[in-house]
Amino acid sequence: MFCIGAILVACGNIKTEDGDKSLLPGSSGKYGEVLIVVDTFYEKRATGIAINEIFSVALDGLPQQENQFRASTVPTKAFQSILKRSRNVLKLSIGKGKKTAINIEDDVWAKDQLLIQITAASDIDAARILTKNVQTIRDYFNERELSRLQRQHRGKPLREVMKKIEESYKVTLTIPPGFMQMAKNDNGFWLKKEKSIGQHQILQGISVYVRPYITDTIFNSTVMIPLRNEFTKEMIQGSVDSSYMVVYEDYKPMTKEVNLNGVYAMEYRGLWNMENDFMGGPFLHYTLVDEKNNRVIEVDAFVFAPKFDKREYLRELEAILKTLRIASE
């Protein structure tokens, strides 16, 4: 179990009266939802401002503003019954004499539930803990959502597709049902998952491509973008003749260093559009080095959902990309 660094940290689990967690109900709520439990008195004070800082920030690389989470607030007295089954809960208990602490707990009132519980003696103390751990709290909820998705994906993976990927490109990737291979060559491939809601199309794509490792400049968007464009021009064409995917030039991708299953990687979040066609959306990209085989691995995902929010479609793809591992010999 992981603990957030704050003034005082404790980790533990609350169990049912007989200690059997198998009797707990399943957690409820949609992906990306967080329930905040805090007395109304603090919502307009320092604590409320700090909470807003955590959950009101927009997710990078989306064409329209979407917050990283859909947060809702309920006062402590109303936190009962079905609300206690919420999948992600941030609960604050503030009062004179309380010990200042953050506690990370699993499966408190429901299975597969994450609770981040903060106790503090005052509004200022609570705000200070929240402010100190803004990004950590975001990351913790996001990582738990990704792990839930990955567990779901492992339930019925496309084993034949995964086997071909490993044999051809020496990487492993957990691919859930619904994806089909669209194109491949010696250097890479791309997969598509497509569905419709009403008359509106939703498309999710995944690609992996490899190339020789020559220089450290691979971890620069000025290198990644033209190479991605080169791959997508050849492999990902639109419905109109001579149309193909490219990185949207007017939006500079946001970058972040990440640890991808023990390997250093650069994360890019940006926008794509279809050259000579009217399509576009967000993409997520990771660049990493396979030192043993002296090559660069590029793993990429994109979403096309013009009539819908895109955050959760992209989060689903992030969960898939983050299963990438360099295959052992």
Could you give the CA distance from residue 111 to residue 134 in angstroms, rounded to a whole number?
26
Q: How many residues does the chain have?
A: 329
Amino acid at 244: Y
Question: pLDDT tens digits, residue range 135-168?
Answer: 999 999 999 999 999 999 998 889 999 999 999 9
209 has which bridge partners? 188, 298
Q: Which domains does the chain have, with CATH numbers?
A: 9-153 (3.30.379), 157-326 (3.40.1000.10)
Extract the tokens encoding 71: 């947060």
pLDDT value, residue 4: 41
Sign of the torsion formed by the C-alpha atoms of 175, 180, 182 and 186: positive
pLDDT value, residue 16: 44
Sheet holding 114-120, edge to edge: 9-11, 101-106, 114-120, 88-94, 33-37, 70-74
Could you give the CA distance from residue 174 to residue 225 in angstroms, rounded to a whole number?
25
pLDDT value, residue 241: 84
- Which pTM value belongs to this model? 0.90
Which residues in the chain land under pLDDT 50?
1-18
pLDDT value, residue 19: 59
Q: Which helix (H) or strand (E) holds 298?
A: strand 295-304
Question: pLDDT tens digits, residue range 267-287?
Answer: 999 999 999 888 999 999 999
Could you give the CA distance from residue 171 to residue 140 in angstroms, rounded to a whole number?
27
Extract the tokens encoding 177: 């049902």
